[in-house]
Amino acid sequence: MTRKKILEIIEQGEGLNVEFKQRFSSHEKVAKEMLAFANTKGGVIVFGIDDDKSIYGVESEKEESELIKEAAEKYCEPPLRYSIKILNIEDKEIVIAEIPESQNKPHRLQDYKNEIDLNTAAVYIRINDKSVLASKEMIKIFQTQEKNIELKKYEIGIVEKLIFEYLENNETITVDELKKFANISYRRASRALIKLVRANALFIHTKDNGEDYFSSLNLG
């Protein structure tokens, strides 16, 4: 990460792959941002920069570096890969944590459980310039992708036909909308939509508030 590149990142502002932190933060808050980047497309956290791009610098680059290290290694499960760089900008020290996209999704806040509990796991993803909790559907898709689980003998049934029928008249569909439209349980609706995503027949999207919806087109 060069000085020129960091200046470009600061000028562009926060976004899908960039987060600014002006002051020393807690391990959990930093871990949340790191998790979101690892579970999405990767990114950088720049410590010593305000949201409005003002450069304040950090009081102690050593303390910030230790915070990043502990957040990635002790507060994330599985632990995250990361790199740290310290640069002097306008006579102020800033610390950059770079987190690559993970090949071992989903990562969650450390909960000391052997397996992911869909009801309690804090799995974060990046949406625009925010880090939001992933839905159960997104977590399940991550799990099948990570384990490279292939669909076997998958057939289009009644529920799947109803999904496509709904999408002929509507651009998107949610689990709740399918539940009501098809008069089925939330669990069955969720399972049907997840399978269609895994079969590459639908795309899953997430709003800024963390809510998911599905479409037959890649809207993003």
* Bigger pLDDT: 76 vs 210: 76
Tell which of 94, 119, 134 closes a domain.
134
Whole domain around residue 67: which residue ranges?
3-134
Buried b (16+ CB within 10 A) or exposed e, 153-166: eeeeeebbebbeee
Report the domain count for the chain: 2
Res 79: pLDDT:
97
Res 175: pLDDT:
95
Cβ atoms within 10 Å, residue 196: 22
Same domain? 158 vs 119: no
Average pLDDT value for the chain? 91
Same domain? 15 vs 66: yes
Specify the length of the chain in residues: 220
Report d(CA 76, CA 57) in Å as an integer: 26
Mean pLDDT, residues 166-195: 94
Same domain? 123 vs 184: no
Report d(CA 162, CA 45) in Å as an integer: 43
Predicted structure pTM score: 0.85
In a domain, 220, yes or no: no
- pLDDT digit string, tens, across residues 188-198: 999 999 989 98
pLDDT > 70: what percent of the chain? 94
In a domain, 63, yes or no: yes
pLDDT band at 63 (very low <50, low <70, confident <90, very high): very high
Q: Indicate which CATH number applies to the domain containing 153.
A: 1.10.10.10
Same domain? 14 vs 123: yes
